[in-house]
Amino acid sequence: MNCKTAKSKISDYVDGILETDERILFENHISSCPRCAEDLKKMKKLKDIMGLIQAPALSEDFDRKLHYKLIEAKYRNQGFALERIFDFFRPVSVRVVSISAVAAVVVALIVFSGRRNEVIFVNGPGDFAGYKTASFARVLNVNREGILKLNFVSGKKIKNIELKIELPDGIALADGSRNVEWRGNLRKGNNIVLLKVRGVKVGQWDVRANLRKNSVEKTVERKIFVKPDEI
């Protein structure tokens, strides 16, 4: 074996994959050629060093970020892109729920980004004209505030309505509480409730609103995504 052939076999030799005949020829050459012996020594050392190279360990929040991406991918795969999910919350995507034999209440949930200080309002639409131009936030961010808007569209005036809203673990009111209770009258048309909320935990969460009049009640649930602040 000459030097050129020996050089081409060094890598296979250090990996121990040369056939017996070739290995013997290679070793014979190495024993009589100091330059190739030196090359072999360097190659062995190089391989040893590379075996010691390690990438850093995954960061602590790698799995949390990945989880959010997987959840998002799952819904996109199913044709429920986040945009479409939140489209569903728009007032035009109304859902009629019977609250009594004579009245219909249309409920929609919308997540807005916003900086208003209000914790809760129950009032007519005229008082919230400013929000008509509010930009949509498709998801809430952890540790950031946003406005959760509920619009109860009533077919007629309804007296003595009891409203309860339960926020899940992943979302809280700005003051940290999770339950809202209100009693009053629904006016004909839009009845808007605004909640200043904050993302608490990453995930997909159900916000539950319960309307009750006497013994008749209706519960409406909507999914809200809370995403990591940095994504």
Binding site for other proteins (CB under 8 A): 7-8, 10-12, 15, 17, 39, 41-43, 45-59, 62-63, 65-67, 69-71, 73-74, 77-78
Q: Which is nearer to other proteins, 58 or 92 (CB)?
A: 58
Question: What is the DSSP code (8-state) at residue 131?
Answer: G
**DSSP code of 113?**
-
Residue whose CB is less far from other proteins, 33 or 43: 43
For the bound state, the minimum distance from the C-beta of residue 169 to other proteins, rounded and expressed in Å, comes to: 17
- Nearest approach in angstroms of CB 22 to other proteins is 13
Residue with Cβ nearer other proteins (65 or 164): 65
Q: Which residue has the tokens 């199913």?
A: 78
- In the DSSP assignment, the letter for residue 91 is T
Burial class (CB in 10 A: 0-12, 13-18, 19+), 165: buried
Rounded Cα–Cα distance for residues 145 and 29 (Å): 74
Tokens found for residue 158: 């309804």
Minimum distance from residue 16 beta carbon to other proteins (Å): 11
Q: If you count them, how many residues does the chain have?
A: 231
Of 73 and 96, which CB lies nearer to other proteins in the complex structure?
A: 73
Both structure tokens of 14: 């250090």
Q: Which position has the token pair 């909507």?
A: 222
Q: Using the minimum distance from each CB to other proteins, give the nearer residue, 141 or 204.
A: 204
Q: Which lies closer to other proteins via its Cβ, residue 42 or residue 188? A: 42
Nearer to other proteins, 36 or 173 (CB): 36
Tokens of 82: 């986040």
Min dist. Cβ of residue 52 to other proteins (A)? 6
Q: What are phi and psi of 167, to 5 degrees?
A: -95, 140
Residues in contact with 53: Cβ distance below 8 Å, sequence separation at least 6, in sequence order: none
User: Which is nearest to 200 in space by CA: 166, 180, 228, 165?
Assistant: 228
* Pairwise CA distance, residues 46 & 139, whole Å: 50
For the bound state, the minimum distance from the C-beta of residue 228 to other proteins, rounded and expressed in Å, comes to: 12
Smallest separation (angstroms) from other proteins to the CB of 23 = 15
Least distance CB 39 / other proteins (angstroms): 7
